[in-house]
Chains A and B, each alone.
Chain A
Amino acid sequence: MPTYRPGPASLVIAAFVALFLLLPLLAVIPVSLTPSRMLAMPSGELSLRHYRSLVEDPRWLQSILLSIRIGIVSSAFSTVLALCFSLGVWMFQPRFTAALVGFVLLPMVVPPVVSAITLYFLLTSISGFSSFFGYDTWLGVAMAHSVMTVPFATVLMLVSLSQLDRRIDLAARGLGASVWERATRIIMPNIKFGIITAALLSFVLSWEEIGVTLFITSVNAITLPRLMWMGLRDNIDPAIAALSVILIIITVLVLAVRSVVVRQRGAQ
């Protein structure tokens, strides 16, 4: 327990920062209820028409489904690759581990716009050979998202492996378990929580990805953030406010559930 508490001045400044952090999230609520077709504050009456247009306009639904599909495929791919890699690092502790892990983390530290132009180069090169895999295809986007999410998945796996007791693996090995048995029956059940977190984080990162997606899609692979971007750049469409309100509510709910789960795990 900290014995040294923040004083009144700290609390007042922190309250301003907290307000600043929440303000733009609260601001979208009145805008989403405006009856106007343009971005405006509702004057007098409120309307749910922008929520309705989310359901009625097929573009929103299509892009949501596309984002889910890309998220699942890219998250599965990067989780499996990150899991194998981290198991290799943990079980065998090869030489040059630091350099190899550093290489894997590159897409996380390189400025996103540079990763974007790099993946643009990759996908336009592939487009020369294949029409369903490359620039502006959903498989191409899923692969690009995997490149961007795999460092985060790897970090989470390595962190949860670092908390694992090596002696249980040594015991299994001493009793004659093969590499496969050690990995699947000893190690993986013990880092289950880390694997699930990595898969979820990869999905969320892919679901919100926009910096790279902008460079590698044009008209076919319109993910949800890409569609929001189009609505933000041209005429600002208040349907984005309605969508934002829904996304904010989902985020708050997920965080609330997560904090309850974490507390229960801590209590056990």
Chain B
Amino acid sequence: MRSYLSDRMGAALLMAPLLLFLVLAYAWPFFGVVKWSFTLPTPGLGQYEALLTDDLVQSVFIRTLRIAAVVTVVSVAAAYAITVVWVRGTRAQRLIAEFCILVPFWISVLTRAFGWVALLSNRGLINSWLQAIGFISEPLALVRNEFGVIVGMTHFLIPFAVFPLASAMRSLDDRVLLAARGLGSSRMRTFWTVFVPMTRSGIIGAAMIVFVFSLGFFVTPAILGGGRSVMIAELIYLRIFQSPDWGLGAAISVVLVLFVGALMALLFRYVRPKQLI
């Protein structure tokens, strides 16, 4: 049984470094954070009690869920529109759509948030232009509020919604659409009653990815919210670095992980992981 033994040894030796690295550098410190949530500032369940009673924490949770819901609906709808062209357009249309999806996807979140600041701020492109043509006299408040956060997050998350949608649209059998058309269904009706229902798994996958991502989003809300529209992730940051209350920051993190874990479990009951890429 030489080869059986050496196989097991080989596998163990090859897989051990990464597993060891992640146990030491990720799993162990995560349990450290969990420990913080139960011991700082005083041992007990005080931090979790505070989560349920603190008005600020409550309002941040509700705002985060509200923003995540709006962003999910808007970005999945927008992604759907451009994915249809990316997957089913003519060659030129496909190239243009691909360019518009992949270029923002590869550009850093900071640059993209900054681009929105340049467009939406009081002295930004949109306000300058609207004032120049005399449409408004005072600049519109487009940024440093929930509107700016939703715009920036939607922009960030559209490409992530595109991939599961594209995978669902590519696996769709054209003959079904031709059959619907052949039986006298209009273009609109074919789209809404055949095409969309058949890409349901892609829609569910895209919505889940966008929703989960928005829950833990930090950079875009922090820049475009300007400290006024704080979401969960920024609240954790503030609890760790500004009003040192590590226990509360840790407790929020633990709740966030459990919530996201539950959502993912729900997702994988409906969609196979392969359909998401």
CB pair A111–B215 under 8 Å, yes or no, is yes
Residues of A within 8 A of B26 (CB): 106-107, 115, 118-119, 122, 147
29 pairs, A vs B, C-beta closer than 8 Å: A2-B88, A10-B81, A10-B191, A14-B84, A17-B81, A17-B158, A21-B103, A22-B103, A27-B116, A28-B111, A39-B123, A81-B17, A88-B10, A89-B15, A100-B15, A103-B19, A104-B18, A104-B19, A112-B216, A117-B236, A122-B28, A125-B32, A147-B21, A208-B109, A211-B218, A211-B219, A214-B218, A215-B237, A244-B111
Starting from the known contacts A38-B123, A114-B236, 15 additional A-B residue pairs (CB-CB under 8 Å) come to A4-B88, A5-B89, A16-B81, A28-B115, A94-B12, A103-B27, A104-B19, A113-B237, A115-B26, A117-B236, A121-B36, A215-B241, A240-B114, A241-B118, A248-B111
Residues in A whose Cβ lies below 8 Å from that of B119: 23-24, 27
Contacts A91-B14, A214-B237 given: A5-B32 contact, CB under 8 Å? no
* B118 and A104 contact, CB distance less than 8 A: no
Q: Mark A211-223, 1 if CB is under 8 A from B, else 0.
A: 1001100000000
Q: Is the interface of B mostly helix, strand, loop or mixed?
A: helix
B110 within 8 A of A: yes
Pairwise interchain contact B100-A114, C-beta atoms closer than 8 A: no
Contact mask for chain A residues 59-100; partner B; CB cutoff 8 A; 1 contact, 0 none: 000000000000000000000011011011101101000001
Number of A residues, CB within 8 Å of B: 86
Q: Interface of A with B (CB < 8 Å)?
A: 2-7, 9-11, 13-14, 16-18, 20-25, 27-28, 30-31, 38-41, 81-82, 84-85, 87-89, 91-92, 94, 100, 103-104, 106-107, 109-122, 125, 143-144, 146-147, 150, 154, 179, 204, 208, 210-211, 214-215, 225, 228-229, 232-233, 236, 240-241, 244, 247-248, 251-252, 254-255
The CA-CA distance from A247 to B232 in the complex, in Å, is 30
> Is there contact, CB below 8 Å, between A6 and B178?
no
Contact between B125 and A41 (Cβ–Cβ < 8 Å)? yes
**Chain B residue nearest in CB terms to A252:** B103
Beyond A11-B85, A110-B257, A122-B29, is A41–B78 a contact (Cβ under 8 Å)? no
Given contacts A150-B22, A232-B223, A247-B107, contact A14 B216 (CB under 8 A): no
**B177 at interface by CB-CB < 8 Å:** yes
B106 within 8 A of A: yes
Measured CB to CB, the nearest residue on chain B to A92 is: B11
| Inter-chain CB contacts under 8 Å: number | 274
The 8 closest A-B pairs by CB, nearest first: A111-B216, A24-B115, A88-B14, A92-B11, A122-B29, A113-B233, A88-B15, A208-B108
We find that the number of chain B residues with CB closer than 8 angstroms to chain A is: 92
- Closest beta carbon of chain B to A205's beta carbon, Å: 10
Within 8 A of A (CB), among B200-223: 212, 215-216, 218-219, 222-223
A residues in contact with B103, CB < 8 Å: 21-22, 25, 248, 251-252, 255
